[in-house]
Structure 1
C-alpha cells in the first residue's frame, strides 16, 4: 500500500493525468451529464475534464476516440460540482427555504472549443442529447438558472446565447467588470466579489517587505490592461518600480503554446519578486516554462483563481514553492468536508466521473459497457485519501462561489413563489407556469447572509469591498501542496492596519528564513543620500555621502538634513551633536599664556617707570623730556594691560571697551612718540636762533600734540559707537564642534579707520624721527624712535592679512599678540638702552662723562 501511494504522489503528478483507454473512452462517449431530480433545476457547466490529441496535427473534426487522445482531469473543478450537489442537498433538507419545492441539478462538462460548448448548451436546454435549438422534448422539471465558470471565456460563450432568451446565468469565476456591463450581458450575475482593492493590497504587500523592484506578468486582454493601469498607478504613488512588464497572450489552457518571448530577461532580471495576474488556464504555458526553468529563487505573487496543484511535474523542487497568493476571505462551510469524504460511486452511482476516478486511483475493476466499477477496490476508499496536490479537501474559492450561487437562486425562487402566492393566486388544481426570465427582478434584489456570515448580493453595483487572505503555498517536499494563511488585507481598515501579516510563518522560495530582497539598487545607509541616475527610474540610484555638517539618520533618504547652527554632524553623519560653547578663556593654555605675557610686560613697564622715577635727576632721564617719557611709560603699561579685555567671556561692556580703549591708549602712546620726535627736530634742526624756535621750546608746544591727537581719536570712537558699536556675537563655523563667543566689531570700516589712524601717527613719527636720526647729541634717541615706529608699523601691517585669514579664537589671539608685540617693541627699543646705561653703566650717566666725551670729540680733528 505504501509503495502504491509513493507511486501516486511521484508519478501521477504530471499536469495531465493519463487514464486508461477504456475509462477515457467512457467519459468521452457519454459526454458526462449528471442529473439530480427536482421541480426546479439548476444547470451547471463545469470543465471537469478536457480531451487533447496526442498528435498535435490531429484534426479535431475528424478525430475518433481511440488511443490517439488523452484526458486531463480537472479535479479542482470537480470540487465545484460537489459544492453544487451539497448546497442543493442542504436546501432540500431545509423546511424554511423553498417549502413544497425541490431543487434538482444538471451537471454538464464543458468541452474544448466554443462550438462544442454551445452544442452542449443547446442539448441541455432542449432536454435531450440533440443539440437543436427550440426543439426540445418535454421536461419533467423547470430549468431555473445556469451556473458557468470558472473561466471568463466560458461564461462569455454561454452568456452570448443565454442573453438572447433572458435566461438567468450566474458565473462563479473571478469578477469581470466587462461581464457586469448590463448592455452586453443583462441576464448575467457574478457571484464573486469585486477586486477593486486587489492592486492596493498587492502594493501594500510590496511596501511591507520593502520590495520596490518587481516584475509583472499580465494577461494580454482588456481586463489585464485595466489591471496593469491600476497597478502601475498604485505603484507609482508608493514609489514601487517596475523591472519589466510581460504581456502574455491568452492561450486558453492549451499545453502546446510557445514559451514567453523574453525568457532571458526574466532569468537575468534583478527583480526577485514577480507578480502574475491572470487565471491558471490562460497562463498555463507561462507556468510550465517557469517550472521547467526551475526559478526557485523568485517570489511569485499570484491571485486567488490559480490552481497551483495542476502544475505538478517530475522535479522534486517546485518553482512555485513559497508563492504568496491573494485569496478572497471566506470561512469554512460546515459539513462540506464530510460530504466530500462520503462522496463515492456507491453514494452517487450515476456519477461516471467518480467511477473513473476510483478505477484510476483505487485500482477498482471497471466495466466498459456501462462505465461502472464492480469490485476489487481499496477498503474505505474516499477522495480524502488522495494526495493534496491531486485533490484538495479544503474548499476552493470557486466552490465557495458555486455554493453561494445555488443559495442565491434558492432565495430568489423562494421570494418569487411567495410573490406569486400573494399577488397571483391560481385556480385550484392548476399549476403555476414558470418562466426563467421571471426570476430576474428577484435575483437583482436578492440579499442574504451566508453560512459564514457574509452578506451576499448579486447586483454588482451593490457589491462591497472584500477582504483578502494572503496564503503561502508550501510544496516542499514535492507533493505537500499546502496553502497556509499567513496574513490578511482589509481595505475598510484604518490606513496603518489594512495589512496584517505573520512573516515568521512564511516559507520563502529560497528556503531561507530571511526575507528576500528585491531592489534595483542597494539601500543607502544612514550618512548617505540617494542620487538618481539620469534616464532611470526612481528605484535605481547611487549613494553619496552627505555634505559637511549634514546628516541622514534613515535608510534611503533623498536629501540630507543640515544640522542647526548650534549642532554639528558626527563623523558618520548620522546624527547632530550639540556644539560646545567656547571663547578665549583664562583657563585655556593660549589664554593663560597671553594673560601672563600681558601682566609680565605690564609689570616690566612699571619697573622701567620706577627706574626712571628713581633716576629722574640723572642726565639721561632729563635729556629726553622727562614728562613725555613718563607719559609714554604709563600709557604703554596700560596698553599692555589691554589684552585682559580680550580674554574671558565677552560682555557688551568688554566688547565696547576692547577696541576703543586699545585705540585711545595707543593713540596717546604714538602721539607721545610723535611729540618726542618733534621736540628733537625743533631742538636740533633749527640752526638760526629766533623768536619762533625759542617760543616753541619754551612753551613746550609739542606737548599739545598729545591732546589734539587724542581728541581726534575720541571723535572717531564716538562716531563708531553711535553708528555701529561692537556687540557680542557667536561664531559657529570657524571651529568644528564649537560655538565661539566673540566680539563683533560692528562696523568693519570704523575698525579699519581706527587702525589706519594709528598707522598714520606711526608713519609721521617714523619720518620725523628718521630726519633727526643723525643729529649730534650724547643722548639723542631719534634713532630708537625711528626704529620703534618701523617695528610698530611692521607688526600691524602683518596683522591685517593674518586677521582676515583666521577665524574664531585665533583672530582674537592674533589681535592680542599684535598689541603685546607692538607695545613691547616700543618699550624695548626706546627704553631698553636707557635702562642699560642707568642700571649697568651708571658711570656714563653723569655730567663728568658727558664733558669728557665732548672734549675728546673737539680735540680729535686736530
Structure 2
C-alpha cells in the first residue's frame, strides 16, 4: 500500500511548483519500531545489560514472501538454512507480526515449531480449529470489546440510523457477523451496508511509539506501562485494556486536534462506559450541536410506535394512544392501561387519581332532589290534612273515601323513599330502596285501579236486574289493593332472596370517576318490578279511559285517565334515559321519575278537589253534585 504526501512551494516570480513524497504505510511502523528500540537500549533502568536489535522484512502481502521472510529470521545471518548453525546465530526473542491477520497466521505456522512467541499489533486472527495452539500476544484489545464500545456510544447518543462500511477481508466479514446482530438486538438499523476494497480503507492515526513501549514492557513481564496503567493478557493472549473515546477537532487549515472525551474500561466487571459531553466539539456541519441520526423522529409521550411494512423497524409512524391508555416514555411500542383507580390525563401521558363519585346530600344536585322530595311530601301532607278536615263533605265522600286516604298516604311515602337513594351507598339502603319504591308505588297505582273499577261497577249495578250489585262495596276495593300490593311484595321477596342489591364500586363505566353505587344484583328482577308497575298503570288507564264518560257524581275516571297517562309516559321515558346515564346521574334520573309520577298523580286526581274544597266551598254540597250528575 502506498500513501502520497503532497506539498507546495511558492516563489515570487515562479509558478507554483508541486512536490510529491511517496511513503509506504509500513514505513511509519518501521520508524516507530526503531524509535522504541533506541529508547529502550539507551535507558539503563528499563532493561539493564540487555540490548535489543531487530530485523525487518517486507511481506508485500504475499504468502510466499511471508514464509520466506520468516525462514530468514530463523536462519543464520548469511544463509537461508533453518536449524543449522554455521554462522552468527540470531538470538530471536519474539516476532512482531504484520497488520493483517492472515500474515500473522502464516508466520505462526512456522515459528510455533521453535516456541517463539508472536506479538501482533493489528487485527486479531480468527482462531479456527485448524490454528488452535498458535502463540499470540495481541497488543490491541479484543475487537469484540471494540464492538461493545461502539454499541454503547451509539446508544448513548441515541443514534439508531447508521451506515456500515467494512473492508472486503476476513476482518470486515467478522465485523459484520458480530456487530450487525448486536445492533439489531439493541434497536439500531442500517441505512446501508457497503464493502470497500482492502487497499482503499482509511489509515487510522494512532501513537505507535507509545504502543511499542507497552509491547516491550509486556514481553518482559512487567506489571505496568510507562504511563502507570496496569496491563495484562487474558488466557487467549489478548490484551486486557480499555479504549479512549477521542474527539477529532478539525480546523480550516486542515490541521486537527485529538481530545479525549471518555473511555470504555474493560478491566471492570461491568465494562464501564464514561463520556463527558461538555468537552465534545461537534463539526461545523452540525452547527456545533449534537447530530441526530434516526430514521423517524421519536414518538413523544401519549403516542406509540407503529411499524411501517417493508421498511426497517427503526422507521415507524407515531400513533396517538387509544382512549383509556397512556404512554409515559418516548418511543414506546404500545400504550398501556392505567390502574383501576386512575385514569389518563388529557395528553394521555400520565395517570391521575379518579374522583370518588356518588349522589351526596350536600352537593347541589342532591340538595335540589331532597328539596323536591320534601316539598312534594309536604304538599301531599297538606292535601291529606285538608281532606281529613273536610272528611264529611260530599266531595270527600265521593268515590270511596278510604281509597282516597290510602292513595294519599301512599303518595306521601313515595317522595320520602327517595331519601334512600341519596348519600353514600350502604347495605340496608341498597336492600330496601328499590323494594320500598316498588311496593309503595304498587299500593298507589292499585288504589287508582280500585277507584276506576269501583266507578265502572257502580254504573253497571244501576241497571235493572244487574248482578253486579253484590260486587260493589269496600270489600272489592280492599281486595284489589291488597292483592296487587302483595303480588309486588312477592316479586321483591324473591329478588331479595335470590340476588339482592348490594353496595358496589364501579371503576370502569366513567373514565375519570370511581362510582360508589348500589348494584341491583339481579337486573332482571329490577325490571320485573318496573314491568309489574307498568302493567298496573296500563290496566288502570284502560279502565279509567272507558269509564271517563260514565254519569256519576264527581266521576274521577277522567282525572285518573290523565294521571295514568302521565305516569306511563314518565316511566316509559325513564328506561332509555336510565340506561344511557352512568353514576350519580343514573340515580338522579330514577329520583326525578319517582317525583314526577308522584306529583302527576297528585295533581291530576286531587288538585281539582282541593280547588273546590279551598277556593269554591259553595260547590262542595250535595245539590251541586246532583245538578252536575243530571
What TM-score results when the alignment is normalised by the length of structure 2? 0.88
Shift of residue 548, structure 1, vs aligned partner = 1.4
| Corresponding residue of 1:601 | 376
Q: Confirm whether residue 527 of structure 1 aligns to residue 302 of structure 2.
A: yes
| Corresponding residue of 2:204 | 307
Computed over aligned residues only, the root mean square deviation of the Cα atoms, in angstroms, reads 3.4
| Corresponding residue of 1:507 | 281
Shift of residue 655, structure 1, vs aligned partner = 1.7
Contact 1:179 1:188 in 2 (8 A): no
Q: Aligned partners of 1:680, 1:744: CA distance in 2, in Å?
A: 42
Match of 1:666 among 441, 449, 456: 441
Q: Confirm whether residue 85 of structure 1 aligns to residue 38 of structure 2.
A: yes
Partner of 1:17: helix, strand, or coil? strand
Shift of residue 795, structure 1, vs aligned partner = 1.6
Q: Aligned partners of 1:120, 1:69: CA distance in 2, in Å?
A: 31
Shift of residue 536, structure 1, vs aligned partner = 2.5
Map residues 123-138 of structure 1 onto 2, 5 A cutoff. Answer: none
| Corresponding residue of 1:684 | 459
Shift of residue 555, structure 1, vs aligned partner = 1.0
Partner of 1:798: helix, strand, or coil? helix
| Corresponding residue of 2:212 | 402
Contact 2:55 2:73 in 1 (8 A): no
Shift of residue 741, structure 1, vs aligned partner = 2.0
User: Compared with structure 1, are the counterparts of its residues 116 and 475 closer, same or farther at alpha carbon in structure 2 (3 Å cutoff)?
Assistant: farther
Shift of residue 622, structure 1, vs aligned partner = 0.9
User: Compared with structure 1, are the counterparts of its residues 157 and 831 closer, same or farther at alpha carbon in structure 2 (3 Å cutoff)?
Assistant: closer
Q: Confirm whether residue 639 of structure 1 aligns to residue 408 of structure 2.
A: no
User: Compared with structure 1, are the counterparts of its residues 580 and 407 closer, same or farther at alpha carbon in structure 2 (3 Å cutoff)?
Assistant: closer
Shift of residue 206, structure 1, vs aligned partner = 1.1
Contact 2:141 2:242 in 1 (8 A): no
Shift of residue 647, structure 1, vs aligned partner = 2.3
Question: Which range moves more in the overlay, 158-167 or 513-522?
Answer: 158-167
Partner of 1:499: helix, strand, or coil? strand
Higher relative contact order (CA 8 A, sep 6+): 1
Contact 1:447 1:455 in 2 (8 A): no
Contact 2:438 2:488 in 1 (8 A): yes
Partner of 2:148: helix, strand, or coil? helix
| Corresponding residue of 2:189 | 241
Partner of 1:642: helix, strand, or coil? helix
Map residues 556-705 of structure 1 onto 2, 5 A cutoff. Answer: 556-688=331-463, 693-698=468-473, 700-705=475-480
Shift of residue 245, structure 1, vs aligned partner = 1.3
Contact 1:172 1:398 in 2 (8 A): no
In the TM superposition, what whole-angstrom CA distance separates every residue of 1:766-810 from its partner, at most 9, and x where no partner exists?
A: 222223222212311122122222221222112112222222222
In the TM superposition, what whole-angstrom CA distance separates every residue of 1:239-277 from its partner, at most 9, and x where no partner exists?
A: 2222221122212xxxxxxxxxxxxxxxxxxxxxxxxxx
Contact 1:580 1:739 in 2 (8 A): yes
Match of 2:526 among 751, 756, 759: 751
Map residues 729-744 of structure 1 onto 2, 5 A cutoff. Answer: 729-744=504-519
Shift of residue 613, structure 1, vs aligned partner = 1.4
Q: Number of aligned pairs?
A: 616
Contact 1:195 1:465 in 2 (8 A): no
| Corresponding residue of 2:156 | 208
Map residues 56-205 of structure 1 onto 2, 5 A cutoff. Answer: 71-72=22-23, 74=25, 76-77=28-29, 78-90=31-43, 93-94=44-45, 99=49, 102-108=50-56, 110=58, 112=60, 114=62, 140=88, 142-145=90-93, 147-152=95-100, 155-156=103-104, 159=107, 162-163=110-111, 166=114, 168=116, 170-178=118-126, 183=131, 186=134, 189-205=137-153
Partner of 1:700: helix, strand, or coil? helix
Partner of 1:489: helix, strand, or coil? strand
Q: Aligned partners of 1:498, 1:662: CA distance in 2, in Å?
A: 74
Gaps of 5+ in 1: 1-13, 21-66, 252-281, 285-305, 309-395, 412-445, 858-862
Shift of residue 532, structure 1, vs aligned partner = 1.3
Q: Confirm whether residue 808 of structure 1 aligns to residue 618 of structure 2.
A: no
User: Compared with structure 1, are the counterparts of its residues 607 and 116 closer, same or farther at alpha carbon in structure 2 (3 Å cutoff)?
Assistant: same
User: Compared with structure 1, are the counterparts of its residues 830 and 159 closer, same or farther at alpha carbon in structure 2 (3 Å cutoff)?
Assistant: same
Contact 1:179 1:185 in 2 (8 A): no
User: Compared with structure 1, are the counterparts of its residues 721 and 590 closer, same or farther at alpha carbon in structure 2 (3 Å cutoff)?
Assistant: same
User: Compared with structure 1, are the counterparts of its residues 815 and 89 closer, same or farther at alpha carbon in structure 2 (3 Å cutoff)?
Assistant: same
Partner of 2:331: helix, strand, or coil? coil
User: Compared with structure 1, are the counterparts of its residues 125 and 71 closer, same or farther at alpha carbon in structure 2 (3 Å cutoff)?
Assistant: farther
Gaps of 5+ in 2: 9-17
Shift of residue 215, structure 1, vs aligned partner = 1.4
Shift of residue 636, structure 1, vs aligned partner = 0.5
Contact 2:303 2:319 in 1 (8 A): yes
| Corresponding residue of 2:236 | 461
In the TM superposition, what whole-angstrom CA distance separates every residue of 1:143-170 from its partner, at most 9, and x where no partner exists?
A: 4145435521684497178549748363
Q: Aligned partners of 2:108, 2:339: CA distance in 1, in Å?
A: 71
What TM-score results when the alignment is normalised by the length of structure 1? 0.65
Q: Confirm whether residue 720 of structure 1 aligns to residue 617 of structure 2.
A: no
| Corresponding residue of 1:860 | none
User: Compared with structure 1, are the counterparts of its residues 157 and 676 closer, same or farther at alpha carbon in structure 2 (3 Å cutoff)?
Assistant: closer
Partner of 1:247: helix, strand, or coil? strand
Shift of residue 181, structure 1, vs aligned partner = 7.2
| Corresponding residue of 1:827 | 602
Match of 1:547 among 308, 315, 322: 322
Contact 2:326 2:349 in 1 (8 A): yes
Partner of 1:243: helix, strand, or coil? strand
Q: Aligned partners of 1:745, 1:157: CA distance in 2, in Å?
A: 85
User: Compared with structure 1, are the counterparts of its residues 533 and 794 closer, same or farther at alpha carbon in structure 2 (3 Å cutoff)?
Assistant: same
User: Compared with structure 1, are the counterparts of its residues 70 and 447 closer, same or farther at alpha carbon in structure 2 (3 Å cutoff)?
Assistant: closer
Match of 1:222 among 170, 175, 178: 170
Q: Confirm whether residue 16 of structure 1 aligns to residue 35 of structure 2.
A: no
Q: Aligned partners of 2:324, 2:356: CA distance in 1, in Å?
A: 17
In the TM superposition, what whole-angstrom CA distance separates every residue of 1:526-584 from its partner, at most 9, and x where no partner exists?
A: 11111111233221111111111221111111121211232111111111111111222
Q: Aligned partners of 1:98, 1:543: CA distance in 2, in Å?
A: 69
